[in-house]
Amino acid sequence: MTDPALPRLEFWYDFASTYSYPASMRVEELAARSGVEISWQPFLLGSIFAEQNWLGSPFNIYPRKGRYMWRDMERICEKMKLPLRKPDPFPQNSLLAARVTLTLPEHQRGKFTRLVYAAEFGEGKVISNETMLGGFLAKMKLEPPKFLTLAITPEIKQQLKHNSERANALGLIGAPSFVTRSGEVFWGNDRLEDALEWALRE
Amino acid sequence: MTDPALPRLEFWYDFASTYSYPASMRVEELAARSGVEISWQPFLLGSIFAEQNWLGSPFNIYPRKGRYMWRDMERICEKMKLPLRKPDPFPQNSLLAARVTLTLPEHQRGKFTRLVYAAEFGEGKVISNETMLGGFLAKMKLEPPKFLTLAITPEIKQQLKHNSERANALGLIGAPSFVTRSGEVFWGNDRLEDALEWALRE
């Protein structure tokens, strides 16, 4: 699936992350235009936050940071003509969505990921349950029971754990992050262009 | 000095802040090109950090964040062809530099600010003492004793205190920040272009 001759960028995201929403909507198109292959890497920010002694989202722990982030998101989404609605509760539990993503072949992860983010931050919907996630699979003409069952097998649980450990080992501090073949890390939706440029130079 | 007809942007910075270094080097030229007037607003991040219960720089409290920031700064400075050297200690005490800036008329603050940042993050120098700051004033053909004496008068001390309180009231969460006439806040060197665009629309 991965062409070793193509420039490649890993897109690391947590479904609970706000800035990963606009990033997920533009990463594939921008990468295709640059001739860069995207690898979708869902992970859980939890272990990274725990290491910084944050028990929960920094946007809730530091209300001032949270207020700024939502205003900044409003501006970003307005510019991209994306709807924005805060889900309740925020952040959403992203565990099952991440696991379901990992059951899909690489070329279907982008579409699934965008469906989840559009419902979560475009419509403010809860994305943690099987009904919701099954609906996205059905929209993609995939059998919900098959992938929802796969999602809770030990193999997939282990894959997500492994992904989160790798995120930690890479030194990620938030989502979205972009990682090049050589391990160069770019953090934030606003660093996507720089990350693509770097991937092309490697 | 301020022309009410001109679009205007406040540039809020702390001399201890790393990302304010590249921002200070590009803000005046970019603003002039857009026809936006810049107002230089030195302040102290201390009171904002204290409110978040950070006792010191978040880049020291969270080493992983610090490592990422220095790598990110390397990339930014390389792109802008700016030298980069970490001062010791980091962060530098920025109190006197901020006070001296406030003794200067608006049109001289940009040049003084850039001299301080260039020494601090371009050469890794200590910027907290009178000798160093007096040297920058001399380079600008300003009398060091006059401005260094002014800098520690109750009026200037009060001005800096007032600036830091206003930064808090504006909801700033870091430096650099850019604030438009209507109070729209943009945080980060990477938001300068967006802030200028906003200022032009107001």
pLDDT score for A46: 86
Rounded average pLDDT over B87-103: 97
ipTM for this prediction: 0.92
Q: Is the pLDDT of residue B155 over 60?
A: yes
B137 touches B112 (CB < 8 A):
yes
Question: A197 touching B, CB under 8 A?
Answer: no
Rounded average pLDDT over B96-124: 98
Question: A194 touching B, CB under 8 A?
Answer: yes
pLDDT score for A47: 75
CA dihedral B25, B26, B27, B28 (to 10 degrees): 80
- Host H or E run for residue B28: helix B20-34
Question: B185 touching A, CB under 8 A?
Answer: yes
Residues from chain A that touch B68, judged by Cβ atoms under 8 A, are: 171, 173, 185, 187
pLDDT in tens, A87-107: 999 999 999 999 999 999 999
pLDDT score for B2: 63
pLDDT score for B61: 79
**CA distances (Å), B29 to each of B11, B25, B35, B80, in order?**
13, 8, 10, 13
Contact A187 B72 (CB under 8 A): yes
Contact B194 A75 (CB under 8 A): yes
Question: A82 touching B, CB under 8 A?
Answer: no
What is the least distance, in Å, from the CA of A173 to any CA of chain B?
A: 6
Contact A52 B71 (CB under 8 A): no
pLDDT score for A126: 98
**Positive or negative CA dihedral for A120, A126, A132, A133?**
positive
pLDDT score for B58: 81
pLDDT score for B46: 86
Question: A85 touching B, CB under 8 A?
Answer: no
Q: For residue A167, give both structure tokens.
A: 């995120």
| Sheet strands side by side (includes B37-42) | B37-42, B8-13, B177-180, B185-187
pLDDT score for B49: 75
pLDDT score for B62: 84
Contacts of B44 (CB under 8 A, 6+ apart): B14, B94, B95, B98, B160, B164
DSSP result, A48-112: HHHHTT--S-HHHHSHHHHHHHHHHHHHHHHHHT------SSSSPP-HHHHHHHHHS-HHHHHHH
Contact B68 A173 (CB under 8 A): yes
Q: Which residues of chain A have pLDDT under 70?
A: 1-2, 51-55
The pTM (predicted TM-score) of the whole model is 0.94
Q: For residue A189, give both structure tokens.
A: 């939706």
Nearest Cβ partner for B62 among A52, A64, A191: A52
Query: Which residue on chain B is closest to A174 by alpha carbon?
Result: B65
Contacts of A22 (CB under 8 A, 6+ apart): A73, A76, A77, A80, A82, A189
What is the least distance, in Å, from the CA of A64 to any CA of chain B?
A: 7
Q: Please choose, from the candidates B189, B173, B202, the residue with its C-alpha nearest in 3D space to the C-alpha of residue A69.
A: B173
Question: B74 touching A, CB under 8 A?
Answer: no
Rounded distance between C-alpha atoms, residue A31 and residue A41, angstroms? 15
Beta strands in chain B (DSSP E): 8-13, 37-42, 177-180, 185-187
Residues from chain B that touch A182, judged by Cβ atoms under 8 A, are: none
Q: What is the mean pLDDT of chain B?
A: 94
Please state whether beta strands B177-180 and A185-187 pair in parallel, antiparallel, or not at all (unpaired): unpaired
A77 touches A47 (CB < 8 A):
no
B92 touches B126 (CB < 8 A):
yes
A98 touches A24 (CB < 8 A):
no
Q: Please choose, from the candidates B101, B80, B74, B78, the residue with its C-alpha nearest in 3D space to the C-alpha of residue B26.
A: B80
pLDDT score for A182: 95
